[in-house]
Copies of this chain bind each other. A is one copy, B any other.
Protein backbone atom coordinates (compact mmCIF):
# COMPACT_ATOMS: atom_id res chain seq x y z
CA UNK A 1 0.00 0.00 0.00
CA UNK A 2 1.27 3.46 -0.89
CA UNK A 3 2.65 5.38 2.03
CA UNK A 4 1.56 8.99 2.30
CA UNK A 5 4.08 11.72 1.62
CA UNK A 6 3.05 13.33 4.87
CA UNK A 7 4.36 10.35 6.85
CA UNK A 8 7.62 10.27 4.93
CA UNK A 9 8.41 13.94 5.59
CA UNK A 10 7.31 13.66 9.17
CA UNK A 11 9.63 10.74 9.84
CA UNK A 12 12.66 12.32 8.23
CA UNK A 13 12.01 15.54 10.09
CA UNK A 14 12.05 13.70 13.43
CA UNK A 15 15.16 11.84 12.39
CA UNK A 16 17.05 14.98 11.47
CA UNK A 17 15.95 16.85 14.59
CA UNK A 18 17.29 13.95 16.63
CA UNK A 19 20.58 14.07 14.75
CA UNK A 20 20.89 17.84 15.16
CA UNK A 21 20.05 17.69 18.86
CA UNK A 22 22.74 15.07 19.29
CA UNK A 23 25.26 17.32 17.53
CA UNK A 24 24.22 20.30 19.68
CA UNK A 25 24.56 18.48 22.99
CA UNK A 26 28.16 19.55 23.50
CA UNK A 27 27.10 23.20 23.17
CA UNK A 28 24.10 22.77 25.50
CA UNK A 29 21.67 23.87 22.80
CA UNK A 30 18.51 22.43 21.25
CA UNK A 31 17.56 22.39 17.60
CA UNK A 32 14.99 25.16 17.78
CA UNK A 33 17.43 27.39 19.66
CA UNK A 34 19.98 26.74 16.95
CA UNK A 35 17.45 27.68 14.27
CA UNK A 36 17.01 31.11 15.83
CA UNK A 37 20.74 31.66 16.34
CA UNK A 38 21.36 30.68 12.72
CA UNK A 39 18.70 33.11 11.60
CA UNK A 40 20.25 35.96 13.59
CA UNK A 41 23.67 35.10 12.26
CA UNK A 42 22.41 35.41 8.70
CA UNK A 43 20.37 38.59 9.07
CA UNK A 44 21.75 40.40 12.11
CA UNK A 45 19.41 41.86 14.74
CA UNK A 46 15.74 41.17 14.14
CA UNK A 47 12.42 41.77 15.84
CA UNK A 48 10.66 38.67 17.12
CA UNK A 49 8.06 39.10 14.41
CA UNK A 50 10.72 39.06 11.72
CA UNK A 51 12.07 35.85 13.25
CA UNK A 52 8.79 33.95 13.40
CA UNK A 53 7.77 35.14 9.97
CA UNK A 54 11.03 33.97 8.45
CA UNK A 55 10.94 30.66 10.32
CA UNK A 56 7.29 30.06 9.54
CA UNK A 57 6.27 29.42 13.13
CA UNK A 58 3.85 31.18 15.46
CA UNK A 59 4.81 34.04 17.75
CA UNK A 60 4.50 32.14 21.06
CA UNK A 61 6.93 29.49 19.85
CA UNK A 62 9.59 32.13 19.27
CA UNK A 63 8.87 33.86 22.58
CA UNK A 64 9.55 30.68 24.53
CA UNK A 65 12.75 29.79 22.73
CA UNK A 66 14.03 33.37 22.88
CA UNK A 67 13.44 33.49 26.62
CA UNK A 68 15.57 30.40 27.13
CA UNK A 69 18.29 31.72 24.84
CA UNK A 70 18.30 34.96 26.79
CA UNK A 71 18.50 33.17 30.13
CA UNK A 72 21.49 31.17 28.95
CA UNK A 73 23.29 34.22 27.57
CA UNK A 74 23.18 33.55 23.81
CA UNK A 75 21.10 36.60 22.94
CA UNK A 76 19.70 39.76 24.49
CA UNK A 77 16.73 41.92 23.68
CA UNK A 78 16.26 45.66 23.54
CA UNK A 79 13.25 47.86 22.96
CA UNK A 80 12.65 49.15 19.45
CA UNK A 81 11.49 52.63 18.43
CA UNK A 82 8.09 51.00 18.48
CA UNK A 83 7.90 50.05 22.13
CA UNK A 84 5.78 46.99 21.31
CA UNK A 85 8.67 45.43 19.45
CA UNK A 86 11.61 43.65 21.00
CA UNK A 87 14.78 43.55 18.93
CA UNK A 88 16.82 40.40 19.34
CA UNK A 89 20.59 40.44 19.06
CA UNK A 90 23.34 37.84 19.39
CA UNK A 91 25.61 38.15 22.42
CA UNK A 92 29.34 38.34 21.78
CA UNK A 93 29.55 34.94 23.43
CA UNK A 94 27.24 33.60 20.71
CA UNK A 95 29.11 35.41 17.93
CA UNK A 96 32.25 33.75 19.10
CA UNK A 97 30.81 30.23 19.41
CA UNK A 98 28.59 30.13 16.32
CA UNK A 99 31.15 29.22 13.63
CA UNK A 100 32.14 26.04 15.46
CA UNK A 101 28.51 25.12 15.98
CA UNK A 102 27.63 25.67 12.34
CA UNK A 103 30.53 23.43 11.41
CA UNK A 104 29.28 20.73 13.72
CA UNK A 105 25.76 20.98 12.28
CA UNK A 106 26.94 20.78 8.69
CA UNK A 107 28.88 17.68 9.68
CA UNK A 108 25.73 16.08 11.14
CA UNK A 109 23.78 17.03 8.07
CA UNK A 110 26.39 15.51 5.81
CA UNK A 111 25.98 12.22 7.60
CA UNK A 112 22.20 12.44 7.08
CA UNK A 113 22.47 13.02 3.34
CA UNK A 114 25.52 10.87 2.71
CA UNK A 115 23.29 8.48 0.77
CA UNK A 116 22.51 11.22 -1.77
CA UNK A 117 24.75 12.66 -4.45
CA UNK A 118 25.29 16.44 -4.62
CA UNK A 119 22.87 16.57 -7.50
CA UNK A 120 20.23 14.62 -5.59
CA UNK A 121 20.59 16.92 -2.61
CA UNK A 122 19.90 19.96 -4.77
CA UNK A 123 16.99 18.16 -6.38
CA UNK A 124 15.58 17.31 -2.97
CA UNK A 125 15.74 20.89 -1.72
CA UNK A 126 14.17 22.09 -4.95
CA UNK A 127 11.29 19.65 -4.63
CA UNK A 128 10.76 20.40 -0.94
CA UNK A 129 10.48 24.10 -1.73
CA UNK A 130 7.59 23.37 -4.07
CA UNK A 131 5.53 21.79 -1.29
CA UNK A 132 2.61 23.90 -0.15
CA UNK A 133 2.72 26.05 -3.27
CA UNK A 134 -0.44 25.82 -5.29
CA UNK A 135 0.05 25.33 -9.01
CA UNK A 136 -1.55 28.76 -9.42
CA UNK A 137 1.27 30.27 -7.32
CA UNK A 138 3.75 28.59 -9.59
CA UNK A 139 2.07 30.19 -12.54
CA UNK A 140 2.44 33.56 -10.82
CA UNK A 141 6.15 32.94 -10.44
CA UNK A 142 6.46 32.13 -14.12
CA UNK A 143 4.50 35.21 -15.10
CA UNK A 144 6.10 37.54 -12.55
Contacts and interface: CB of A to CB of B under 8 A. Distances in A.
Interface stretch (A63-71, A78-86, A123-131): A123-131
A7 B123 CA distance: 16
B109 A6 contact: yes
Contacts of A116: 127, 130-131
B9 A12 contact: yes
Contacts of A12: 9, 13, 128, 131-132
A91 interface: no
Interface in A85-124: 105-106, 109, 111-116, 120-121, 123-124
Q: Which of A10, A35, A105, A129 lies at the interface centre, i.e. has the most chain B CB atoms within 10 A of its CB?
A: A10
A108 to B, nearest CB: 8
A105 B6 contact: yes
A28 interface: no
Q: What 7 pairs between A and B have smallest CB-CB spacing?
A: A13-B13, A115-B133, A124-B127, A115-B130, A12-B131, A8-B128, A6-B16
Interface of A: 1, 3-17, 19-20, 31, 35, 38, 42, 55-57, 105-106, 109, 111-116, 120-121, 123-125, 127-135, 137-138
11 contacts: A1-B42, A5-B112, A9-B9, A9-B13, A9-B128, A12-B131, A16-B132, A112-B131, A113-B131, A116-B127, A124-B124
